[in-house]
DNA sequence: TTCATTTATGCTCAAAAAAGATAAATATAG
DNA sequence: CTATATTTATCTTTTTTGAGCATAAATGAA
């Protein structure tokens, strides 16, 4: 079988004449005749009831006609879809994100992106920075939102700085420090420190520790919870203190008190992608550049 | 584009090797290479990420692969459907039928036929014998069930005798003749006759009239209703008498009394079809011959 | 019956596709 | 790091397929 045969068949069925179909297809009548005969031979049935004066589809011809049109449409669809995928206008975009840092802006951003390219199926995965790095290496996400990640080797991963999230002291609301308007790091020395686990968020951990070192303080580390919500529960239920990104206030924070620090201490929020991004990732990056200014979307340092 | 290109593409995608695909398709590797290149050129995208050691589908390739398989399946489906239609195993069978004569056996027959060939969509049309003749001429039914029809010209229409339906006298239940066990035609002379309209059922009309003529009776025709139900209502509500096929007792017959005649007077039930039946009609006729004995299905002369 | 029109078919030739040979590239083994 | 084996790309030759042309056969209409 052959697409040319199908096209010829459809044309003959439409104009009910071999010779008219020939001129419409810019060929000669004998070619049409042979195409139809070849099709009929292959199918083992006759598609047209014809003599030298009349051409009409048989019942089988009618059925085959409907199928033939659908098949050609399907071919066009296949071509179109493949091209859209290549252009990054159709497909899947997998985004890893740090829940505490992104939950407040990601939904609105993704909704606007979906309006821009409705045929990209955005799948989001809550992941720590370390998990995102691993996911990039094994190719299971296209875009990541997290604190800076420790990509040891060559330029596999690219990034863009989005915002600086100021770090706050957090204590329970009956804690002696809860009354202060701003806190100094030295205020914390009497208390044991709850510190977010390093393997979950190395950047935050290192920022905090190096700040203490700069002030020549050796904090007493009490515990290292692996989720921000667990950290807040720990703080709320004990006299320990903690240092957390301001965006954490978007979580459930009953009985916790956030106090600004007297020094500028920030943890950055970044967007990451690979050096050879997928087509959908390219579409995302292009959209981010021209349509959206993500920095404006992440006002995490505005006091609440 | 070309089906051969699609098949090559699918094979290469399956075994992820140009040369292996070549041997599987009983050709040489250079042919495969050119098929893929031709496809890629036409689509304007690359379907495989490949070098001399590795072949893998691109994202667009994955999408096109899924479409390509579906397209080839669709082609098979088209071929198959067309062949089934040609064999009369798929399609529409249009049956015209005389309601009063067929309503009691047609449903069960059609159910059994549907089990035999589930893909034939049987459409039934209630029609008088005259309407069936017209429908045959214009090709709008394939099979007809009716009394004998008056096909004036050549062998366009074929028929098969199914059963003889004995004709009964019908009177209302308080009529003087209602008490009799059998009736003679001469018993009817005092009464006016309600006669089913000739243009609705010429065969029945002529049978009745010629019976009267043989007995040298000239009946007083009172009215000529165009439906059996109307005839029964007329009989039930007046002192007129009527002669009707026994199967009419399957209709709503309140206050009517059916009395056998003392002479053998029948109206035949026949199946009709055209000299060049459609494929589905052939299937029907074949099924009737070998599977069903329609005569046994039409026990219209058994007294109720 | 004749004529005009339409499909089917045999023949020739050109275009396209397959086969064959070879080059280029690259992963693996030594 | 180099050599080798394997795989894809490309160029040339050969074979096959399909288009164009001429013509025969068929058929409905005048």
Cβ atoms A67, B74 nearer than 8 A: yes
Calculate the angstrom distance between C1' of D23 and CA of B31.
Answer: 39
Residue B139 makes CB contacts below 8 A (sequence gap 6+) with B274
Using CA coordinates, name the residue in chain A closest to B72. A71
pLDDT score, position B292: 57
- Measured between CB atoms, which of B2, B81, B279 is closest to A67? B81
A195-208 pLDDT tens trace: 999 988 889 999 99
- Measured between CB atoms, which of A43, A70, A74 is closest to B83? A43
Please name every residue paired with B260 in a beta bridge, in sequence order, or none if there are none.
B168
Instruction: Give the nucleotide with minimal C1' distance to the Cα of B34.
Output: D9
According to CATH, the topology of domain A166-267 is D-Maltodextrin-Binding Protein; domain 2 (3.40.190)
Residue A226, pLDDT above cutoff 80 = yes
Domain boundary assignment for chain B: 3-86, 91-162+268-297, 165-267
Highest CATH level, class, for B91-162+268-297:
alpha beta
Instruction: Give the nucleotide with minimal C1' distance to the Cα of B5.
Output: C17
Judged by a CB distance cut-off of 8 A, whether residue A29 touches chain B is: no
Report d(CA A114, CA A98) in Å as an integer: 20
- Sites in chain B below the pLDDT cut of 50: 301-304
Residue A93, pLDDT above cutoff 90 = yes
Query: Which chain B residues are Cβ-neighbours of A80 within 8 angstroms?
Result: none
Report d(CA B111, CA B13) in Å as an integer: 47
pLDDT score, position B302: 44
Please name every residue paired with A272 in a beta bridge, in sequence order, or none if there are none.
A144, A159
- Measured between CB atoms, which of B62, B75, B83 is closest to A1? B75
Calculate the angstrom distance between C1' of C2 and CA of B94.
Answer: 43
Residue A296, pLDDT above cutoff 80 = no
Report the 10 Å Cβ neighbour count for A53.
Answer: 5
Calculate the angstrom distance between C1' of D24 and CA of A12.
Answer: 23
DSSP-derived 3-state class of residue B88:
coil
Query: Which chain B residues are Cβ-neighbours of A90 within 8 angstroms?
Result: 63
Computed over every residue of chain A, the mean pLDDT equals 91
Residue A48 makes CB contacts below 8 A (sequence gap 6+) with A12, A13, A36, A55, A56, A57, A58, A61
A229-284 pLDDT tens trace: 899 999 999 999 999 999 998 887 789 999 999 999 999 999 999 988 999 999 99
For residue B112, give the H/E element and its range: helix B106-116
DSSP-derived 3-state class of residue B273:
strand
pLDDT score, position A104: 86
According to CATH, the topology of domain B165-267 is D-Maltodextrin-Binding Protein; domain 2 (3.40.190)
Judged by a CB distance cut-off of 8 A, whether residue A3 touches chain B is: yes
pLDDT score, position A235: 94
Per-residue confidence at A151, pLDDT binned at 50, 70, 90?
Answer: confident
CA distance to A71, A170, A253, B252, per residue, from A174 (Å): 73, 12, 14, 91
pLDDT score, position A297: 59
A8-58 pLDDT tens trace: 999 999 999 999 999 999 999 999 999 999 999 999 999 999 988 899 999
Whether A91-162+268-297 and A166-267 share one fold: the answer is yes
Q: Which nucleotides of C are covered by protein (CB under 7 A)?
A: 5-10, 17-21, 24-27
pLDDT score, position B156: 81
Per-residue confidence at A116, pLDDT binned at 50, 70, 90?
Answer: very high
Judged by a CB distance cut-off of 8 A, whether residue B2 touches chain A is: yes
Q: Does domain A3-86 have CATH number 1.10.10.10?
A: yes
């Amino acid at each position: 079988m052959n697409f040319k045969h199908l096209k010829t068949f459809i044309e003959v069925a439409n104009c009910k004449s071999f010779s008219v179909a020939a001129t419409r297809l810019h060929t000669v009548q004998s070619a049409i005749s042979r195409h139809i005969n070849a099709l009929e031979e292959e199918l083992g049935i006759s598609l047209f009831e014809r003599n030298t004066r009349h051409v009409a589809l048989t019942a089988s011809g009618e059925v085959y006609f409907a199928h033939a049109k659908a098949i050609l449409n399907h071919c066009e669809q296949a071509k179109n879809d493949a091209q859209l995928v290549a252009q990054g206008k159709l497909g899947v975009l997998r985004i890893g994100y740090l829940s505490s840092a992104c939950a407040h802006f990601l939904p609105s951003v993704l909704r606007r992106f979906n309006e821009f390219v409705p045929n990209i199926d955005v799948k989001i995965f809550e992941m720590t920075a370390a998990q995102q790095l691993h996911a990039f290496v094994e190719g299971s996400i296209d875009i990541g939102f997290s604190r800076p990640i420790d990509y040891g080797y060559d330029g596999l991963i690219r990034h863009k700085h989005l915002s600086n999230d100021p770090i706050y002291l957090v204590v329970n609301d009956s804690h002696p420090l809860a009354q202060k308007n701003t806190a100094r790091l030295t205020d914390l020395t009497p208390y044991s420190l709850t510190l977010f686990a390093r393997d979950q968020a190395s950047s935050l951990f290192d920022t905090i520790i190096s700040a203490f070192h700069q002030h020549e303080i050796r904090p007493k580390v009490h515990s290292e919870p692996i989720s921000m919500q667990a950290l807040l529960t720990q703080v709320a239920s004990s006299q320990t203190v903690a240092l957390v990104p301001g965006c954490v206030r978007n979580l459930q924070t009953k009985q916790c008190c956030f106090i600004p620090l007297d020094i500028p201490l920030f943890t950055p929020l970044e967007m990451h992608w690979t050096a050879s991004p997928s087509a959908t990732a390219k579409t995302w990056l292009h959209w981010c550049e021209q349509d959206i200014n993500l920095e404006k979307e992440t006002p995490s340092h505005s006091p609440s």
